[in-house]
Amino acid sequence: MKISVFGLGYVGCVSAACLAGLGHEVVGVDVNQVKVDLVNDGKAPVVEERIGELIAEVVGNGALRATGDVREAVLGSEVSLVCVGTPSEPNGSLCTTYLERVAEQIGAVLAERGGRHTVVFRSTMLPGTCLNLLVPILEKHVGGTAGVDFGVAVNPEFLREGTSVRDFFDPPKTVIGEFDPASGDVVAALYEGLPGEVFRVPVPTAEAIKYADNAFHGLKIGFANELGAVCQALGVDSHQVMDVFLADRKLNISPAYLRPGFAFGGSCLPKDLRSLVHAAQRADVSVPILSHVLPSNSAHLQRAVELVERTGRRRVGLFGLSFKPGTDDLRESPLVELAERLFGKGYDLKIYDANVSLSRLLGANREYIETRLPHLAQLLADSVGEVLEHAEVCLVGTKEPAVLAALPHGGDGPVLIDLVRLPDAEARRAEPGYVGLAW
């Protein structure tokens, strides 16, 4: 199939490259010229496992290219896959501005295009957004009727940053919210040959399924971390508790997200929880569990700040800054929040994150760092050694091999505050100058 992918961010560039890898002819569209140029040069605009090789391959064999020209992309394709961002508004509600803009742009081109084209929304959006907001925009600009003159579907994305290429080819499920059966058939054809169950459901159901997933992931992480904090206070190893708890398959508990560790973050879980709670409040529905997941996460983050305070030391090192390993994505990273809380308290901080440094060098996240985090940009070190030399106390927020290999043992060096339960945590536990968070 000939596919346009709108937005070459974390979701769009992975979807575009993987669809091209499946044999489709794909053109990626983005308003950000840096991302368009990177893709056309065969380079990935994000740091992700396997994405660099895949983009080089599919750009090299002509299956993928990028453009800033919406008209050319839509006229030359049968499907538009919309992967633009839906961040939080300051009051917690969902920002639909980018979706609206793309719907207007695609609609205007469809008004002059013959033949049926299907618009598939892959961005996360609250139930009702597609039918009540985006379909009317499309119909107005096309001058036609959805389901008749053009197709519409919602196809939420379940990839996890860090393993997104693997997740694309081995998805936990494929959810197709179909406006009409013909639109659903088009989405099903996009992913033909991939494993996993396919669920064809009404459009608002598809939108809601994504929120069920993300709210539950946040709840699981909060639950595991609170349990970890209590176990630690009572002298119990919470990972041993979870090993046994999770072995009880009769209750069918998936171990994912249930290991005490550091706080969660990223561009999805916090903002999706916020917009869900905001929507519930607007509808006058009381959601005490959901509204306390983010405060629980914030309290967990504060425990790490308190561990630093308790050491009485001022020169602090931080390993890891992106919101989780294997990505350069800094949006709502709990490690950024931790760095900011420490920076705000006047600690003398140095930070090292290999993926963030690489991405900054390539230019992909340079603008984000320089405009959103200029106060942290100046604290970024070039090597693990530079941080170890500087620090009297070191927060370890990543399991990157280069960091693990360099960490000192036996109290020889800075105090280590382990946020991620290092692979050799058991042995380190007995060492002086080693502190674990919540386990």
Cα 197 from Cα 14, distance rounded (Å): 21
CA distance 252 to 247: 9
Candidates 4, 10, 120, 339; binder of ligand NAD (CB under 6 A) is 10
Residue 190 β-bridge partners:
none
- Least gap, CB of 271 to ligand NAD (angstroms): 7
Site for ligand NAD in 116-155 (CB under 6 A): 123-124
b/e map 133-149, b = 16+ CB within 10 Å: bbbebbbebbeeebeee
Q: What is the DSSP string of 33-62?
A: HHHHHHHHTT--SS--TTHHHHHHHHHHTT
Task: Give the single-character DSSP code of 117.
Answer: -
CA distance 279 to 284: 9
Give DSSP secondary structure letters for 177-218. EESSHHHHHHHHHHTTT--S-EEEE-HHHHHHHHHHHHHHHH
12 touches ligand NAD (CB under 6 A): yes
Residue 35 near ligand NAD by CB under 6 A: yes
Nearer Cβ to ligand NAD (102/318) = 102
- Residues β-bridged to residue 277: none
Distance of CA 252 to the CA centre of its chain: 26
Residue 21 near ligand NAD by CB under 6 A = no
State the Cα–Cα distance between residues 151 and 223, nearest whole angstrom. 41
| Single residue of 48, 78, 161, 418 touching ligand NAD by CB under 6 A | 161
For ligand NAD, give the closer residue by CB, 262 or 439. Answer: 262
In the complex, the smallest distance separating the C-beta of residue 215 from ligand NAD, rounded to whole angstroms, is 13
Kindly list the catalytic residues.
268
Report which residue's Cβ sits closest to ligand NAD: 9
Q: Are 359 and 47 contacting, i.e. CB atoms less than 8 angstroms apart?
A: yes
Phi, psi (rounded to 5 degrees) for 408:
-70, 165
Q: Minimal distance in Å, beta carbon 62 to ligand NAD?
A: 22
By beta-carbon proximity to ligand NAD, the closer residue of 204 and 413 is 204
Interface pick for ligand NAD out of 3, 4, 5, 8 (rule CB under 6 A): 8
Q: Is 323 in the site for ligand NAD (CB under 6 A)?
A: no
Which residues in 256-285 contact ligand NAD (CB under 6 A)? 267-268
State which of positions 86-105 bind ligand NAD (CB under 6 A): 86, 98, 101-102
The least CB distance from residue 246 to ligand NAD, in Å, is: 24
Range 303-322, binding ligand NAD (CB under 6 A): none
Closer of 124 and 225 to ligand NAD (Cβ): 124
Of 108 and 111, nearer to ligand NAD (C-beta) is 108
> Which DSSP helix (H) or strand (E) runs through 334?
helix 334-344
Nearer to ligand NAD, 6 or 262 (CB): 6
Taking the complex as a whole, how short is the minimal distance between the CB of residue 234 and ligand NAD, in angstroms?
35
Task: Please report whether residue 31 would count as binding ligand NAD according to CB under 6 A.
Answer: yes
Cα separation, 228 vs 220, in Å, equals: 12
The footprint of ligand NAD (CB under 6 A) covers 6-12, 29-32, 35, 83-86, 98, 101-102, 123-124, 157, 159, 161, 267-268
